[in-house]
Structure 1
Amino acid sequence: MKISSQRLCLEPLKPDHAELLFDGLQSVSIYEFIEDVPPQSVESLRDRYIVLARRQSPDRTEIWLNWAVWSFVEKCYVGYVQATITVDNSAILGYVFFPNSWGKGYAHEAVKWMINYLVETYQNLNFCADVNVQNHRSIALLHNLGFVRSTLFENIQSNQDEFNHEVHYQKR
């Protein structure tokens, strides 16, 4: 289901979004605090989106909800938002926005509208997100949306053989 706010349209992620989001996902600064790397090709991103568009994990224990975020103002895609709903009614949130859209309030607006949709659609969800302690933008976003710091996880090994600290946030 599409979700529209005043400035944004959250479109259910489809394989066709691969070509539309690929260039924006190439910015190295996006990956400073998340466990991912820029997609290698439009085809590899499309393959990933084919799996995500199924909207559930292969073992059917998780619901995968992903939206590409279109800006009516910029007239382009500015990122994506996602929620994984688990069997214990947790909604694990994630979001990635392209650097040229940072500081414009798009992430706040998109995540807020995603949460509103999830509250209306699913029963008794516990919203949470895990964030690198150095990702001050993401921490500020979560605080502004009513999330509180819960648990610190130290020395989590990353894909780059480094160790990071992450904080678990929960919505009040």
Structure 2
Amino acid sequence: MFSGLSDNRAYQFIPDEPPISLKALRDRYVVLSSGGNSNGTEIWLNWIIRQGVDQKAVGYTQATLTAEEAVVAYHVFPLYWRQGIAAEAMKSTLTTIFYNPDIKIARAFVDTRNHASIALLHKLGFKQIRTIHDADFFKGAKSHEYEFELTQTEWLKTPMPSQT
């Protein structure tokens, strides 16, 4: 994971930075593996995306569950962009979270400049519900975001075409 997460190209549209060391990444994973925040109002789910016979790590997906909704995200290493990996990984993530009958809505937040992620969310059936102006400030610029939403009902009734 460290090598793939160290590629600066993947951080153009997010306020995160590559891990500064293997120890820093390990420490982050210790926190994430606790499963949620300290007051119990969030459940954190994280999956490494693996590919091929050697099961090489090519990214991750994550979901933060709160009451009836989940905020989902993904990160695919730049060497593996535009191969359908994010779509397949997000299909698995959404199917998994929507197996939980309590989760009624999945949300995703995307920088308005990130055209590839916007297209992916549309492909998965997400609907853009609002624009958040000045959502963040990072790398010397203001960031605007789109909020997307997908309901459990829509996900379960819409067959998703397989990626090859």
TM over 0.5: yes
The correspondence for 1:137, drawn from 116, 119, 124, is 116
Instruction: Give the alignment's TM-score, normalised by structure 2.
Output: 0.87
1:37 to 2:53 alignment: no
What is the aligned partner in structure 2 of residue 101 from structure 1?
80
Question: Offset of 1:125 from its aligned partner?
Answer: 2.4
- Which residue identity does 2:149 align to in structure 1? Q
Q: Which residue of 1 aligns with 2:64?
A: 84
Residues 4-58 of structure 1: CA distance to partner in whole angstroms, max 9, x if unpaired? xxxxxxxxxxxxxxxxx00001111100001200000010010010010011112
The match for 1:171 is 150
Match of 1:149 among 125, 128, 131: 128
The residue type paired with residue 48 of structure 2 is A
Q: Which runs of 4+ in 1 moved over 4 A?
A: none
- Rounded to whole Å, the distance in 1 between the matches of 2:17 and 2:103 is 33
* Matched length: 151
Query: How far does residue 73 in structure 1 lie from its aligned partner after superposition?
Result: 5.5
Residue 103 (structure 1) shift: 0.7
Which structure 1 segments of 5+ residues have no match? 1-20
Corresponding residue for 2:4? 24
Would the alpha carbon gap of residues 86 and 124 (structure 1) be closer, same or farther in structure 2, given more than 3 Å must change? closer
**Paired residues of 2:70 and 2:103 also in contact (CA < 8 A):** no
What is the CA-CA distance between 1:155 and the residue it aligns to? 1.7
Q: Distance in 1 between matches of 2:88 and 2:74?
A: 12
Identity %: 38
Match of 1:162 among 131, 137, 141: 141
Name 2:45's counterpart in structure 1.
65
1:105-138 per-residue CA deviation (whole Å, 9 max, x = no partner) reads 0100000011111111342421110000110110
Structure 1 residues 93, 132: CA separation in 2 closer, same or farther (over 3 Å shift)? same
**Which amino acid in 1 is paired with 2:124?**
L
SS at match of 1:44: helix
Three-state SS of the structure 1 residue aligned to 2:29 is helix
Residues 167/44 of structure 1: CA separation in 2 closer, same or farther (3 Å cut): same
Q: In structure 2, give the amino acid aligned to 1:86.
A: T
**CA distance in structure 2 between the aligned counterparts of 1:147 and 1:53, rounded to whole angstroms:** 28
